[in-house]
Structure 1
Amino acid sequence: MSSEEGGALSRRAFTSILGVGAAAAASGAAFGQAPSQRQGPPTVVSNPPRDFSPRGAPTTYFSDPDILSVDPSFDNLVQPNAAIQRIWTGALWAEGPAWNAQGRYLVWSDIPNNRQLRWIEDDGRVSVFRTPSGNSNGNTFDYQGRQISCEHLNRRVVRYELDGSATVLADSYQGKRLNSPNDAVPHPDGSVWFTDPPYGGQLYEGAPDEAGGPSNPSGRINPRLGQPPEVGRWRRELPTNVYRLDPSGRLDVVITEEQVPDPNGLCFSPDYRRLYVASTGKGPGDRGPGGKGDIHVFEVGPDNRLSNGRRFADCVVDGVNCNSDGLRCDVEGNVWASSNAGRNLGYSGVTVWNPDGKLIGRIRLPEVCGNVCFGGPKRNRLFMAASQSLYAVYVGTQGAAPG
């Protein structure tokens, strides 16, 4: 789908496609209500329905109605007269947005379609950037401007070099294949830190284990169908850890599954003295209960050892679990977390937490949000990869790190 087609898709047309727009208009349900109070299926974030496309009627007369200040401190982070925009739609599951400052473009993953997409700032054009992508999930750019991608299908982390070649940074630990690396962040010392939950062990986003493996115990699923010859011959062997890849090539476990089950998104604080990690739900082959959708924080010592691990935020808002996934910090140390609230419409989007773990603001989107990043030439535009679409809004702060 072209960027024009994506931009022209209105919110009203989108709900009509789903066949539920009329039911929502009749219900007039407010989106802060509990699910039991809604009359009919939920369809929109704002009431009346809004059109997120460039051709839609104005919705923002001073501040966007779907950017909510929970605490007055969030007012300083909101950019007046800046509207949330849907700048593209057409993915199966959008994830891993990352901003390339030199090229002034955004790259993100469409995991089930096995491709990476690129949005170019100067004309808003969207094109396929890389296919196949190894069912890549998280992407980032290191301090040398090289793209780093986490591949579900190939169960590895790769780096795309400046000359166009690709380097496998990590695909195993102590001789055992990684599960499905999910998200990665660079450190100024040249290291790369990444999470390794098992979500790529499903048909939709990667490939299950070979017959008898934890994600394919019955062996009824053939993981080799439609895949390159080497895929489908692995099985899950490792717990869901967080790793640090040293510039020397040494790979170390920095957070164990017992500390943070099913680690997903992660980010550093602006001074790199804290590491935030999202813990998400039970994945393929998990024997334990999985994570709770909350965010954990650890202190980072000068030797890169982590200490004082604790829960930073439960991500529960108005009794609704706004399960966190991707994370980014701004220059003030606030944590911007994507929110997957499932069918609790009005709670998916982004939650914003101050350094003390207090909820200060929310951004409501009409789709589940998987990941976020800061971009634009001034790094003051928040990009949100949300289900089938890519959204963006200017904010009153800057992202703390590249990518």
Structure 2
Amino acid sequence: MAALFVGTQSFSQEIEDKKGIVAKNAELVKVQDGFEFTEGPAVNRFGDVFFTDQPNNRIHKWNALSNEVSVFKENAGRSNGMYFLLDGTLVAAADNKNELWAFDTDGNHEVWVTAFKGKKLNGPNDLWVRPKGGIYFTDPLYPRAYWEGRTKESEQTGQNVYFLSADRTELFAVAEDLVQPNGIVGTPDSKYLYVSDIGAKKTYKYEVREDGYLINKELFCEMGSDGMTIDERGNVYLTGKGVTVFNKNGEQIAHIPVPAAWTANVVFGSLDRKTLFITASDAVYTLQMKNRGVW
């Protein structure tokens, strides 16, 4: 497929880094621009990052070795948030018809979720695959101009977080008291899940039960987020106005400014998982880090 790579550009901006999590002398690098709105970065086992240009209905691939961007999939179901399974399946929150899709390595897809209790979902937005199995996803309501055959009102009773069992036989709500859940990420030991309620400008931390249900909700920080990721030390990366990093106690330890109107999402890429890959409006960026991401 045709490459879209056009070069890189560095940005020397003042990065607030209280704990030294950014690599020494590292600068934010613009990898590619010319998109409409980038989202949903997901890293495969080779360190390549797949991301969406949601308004243009495409999924792109950033090659971690060549630093080149190419088109992976056209007509991608208006995919938003994405995440890889260990077998290479790419799961996507496809809000063209308010579904969950799964892509194989050739870009062929199948639909995994079409509704909840016989009614359309609001529009799956972001997701996290639990290492022990199962998928958590957020379902906020963002009415889309491209929706056909449905109203712009919610068919669900609220904007919730759902859990899909590993065998895909069970789908149930696990958080039903949020204003507008969006970003979501869990810890690699499957014990905790972070959910951003962007509508309330807060992020919460939950304990994860073996059966997928969430318990012991607690406020993590007074900030909402579009997309989220986590590193090996348990630091949580929130997005919106640049990237803001909190330690596991909910204390802000870093802020990474990004020259874009909105920073939508973030993930750790490259084989060593030390490249922070940032999707921000019409462009994607990288920044070298000391800490590794988890996958």
| Structure ranking higher in helix proportion | 1
Quote how far apart the aligned CAs of 1:279 are.
Answer: 1.2
Hey, what does 2:175 align to over in structure 1? 255
Q: Which amino acid aligns with 1:66?
A: E
> Cα distance 1:160–1:305, how it changes in 2: closer, same or farther (>3 A)?
same
Matches within 5 A, 1:269-308: 269-280=187-198, 291-308=199-216
Aligned mates of 1:247, 1:178 — CA distance in 2: 20
- After TM superposition, the score normalised by the length of structure 1 is 0.68
What CA deviation, in whole Å up to 9, does each residue of 1:326-380 have, x standing for no partner?
11111111101112xxxxxxxx210000111111111001111000001101011
2:267 counterpart of 1:383: no
What CA deviation, in whole Å up to 9, does each residue of 1:203-233 have, x standing for no partner?
1xx42663xx344xxxxxxxxxxxxxxxxxx
Quote how far apart the aligned CAs of 1:92 are.
Answer: 0.8
What CA deviation, in whole Å up to 9, does each residue of 1:150-203 have, x standing for no partner?
11112101112357542222111111111110011111222111111112x221
On the 8 A contact 1:334/1:354 being kept in 2, the answer is yes
Quote how far apart the aligned CAs of 1:146 are.
Answer: 1.2
What CA deviation, in whole Å up to 9, does each residue of 1:78-136 have, x standing for no partner?
2102211000001111100111223x422111111111111222322222211111111
Query: Which of the numbers 213, 230, 236 marks the counterpart of 1:329?
Result: 230
Aligned mates of 1:362, 1:313 — CA distance in 2: 14
Identity, % of aligned pairs?
32
Hey, what does 1:268 align to over in structure 2? 186
On the 8 A contact 1:214/1:236 being kept in 2, the answer is no
Hey, what does 2:287 align to over in structure 1? 393
Matches within 5 A, 1:1-400: 3-5=4-6, 7=7, 53=9, 59=12, 65-69=13-17, 71=18, 74-75=19-20, 77-102=21-46, 104-162=47-105, 165-199=108-142, 201-203=143-145, 206-207=146-147, 210=150, 213-215=151-153, 236-249=155-168, 250-256=170-176, 258=177, 260-280=178-198, 291-315=199-223, 323-339=224-240, 348-367=241-260, 368-400=262-294
Aligned mates of 1:168, 1:92 — CA distance in 2: 25
> Cα distance 1:400–1:110, how it changes in 2: closer, same or farther (>3 A)?
same
Two-structure CA RMSD over aligned residues (Å): 2.0
Q: Secondary structure at the match of 1:112?
A: helix
- After TM superposition, the score normalised by the length of structure 2 is 0.92
What CA deviation, in whole Å up to 9, does each residue of 1:251-294 have, x standing for no partner?
011111x2x221111000232211101112xxxxxxxxxx2232
Aligned mates of 2:64, 2:209 — CA distance in 1: 38
Quote how far apart the aligned CAs of 1:238 are.
Answer: 4.4
Equivalent pairs, count: 292
On the 8 A contact 1:93/1:387 being kept in 2, the answer is yes
Q: Which has the higher contact order (CA 8 A, sep 6+)?
A: 2
Aligned mates of 1:243, 1:4 — CA distance in 2: 37
On the 8 A contact 2:5/2:70 being kept in 1, the answer is no
Gaps of 5+ in 2: none
Higher Cα Rg, which structure: 1
Aligned mates of 1:311, 1:327 — CA distance in 2: 16
Q: Secondary structure at the match of 1:133?
A: coil
On the 8 A contact 1:241/1:263 being kept in 2, the answer is yes
Quote how far apart the aligned CAs of 1:2 are.
Answer: 6.1
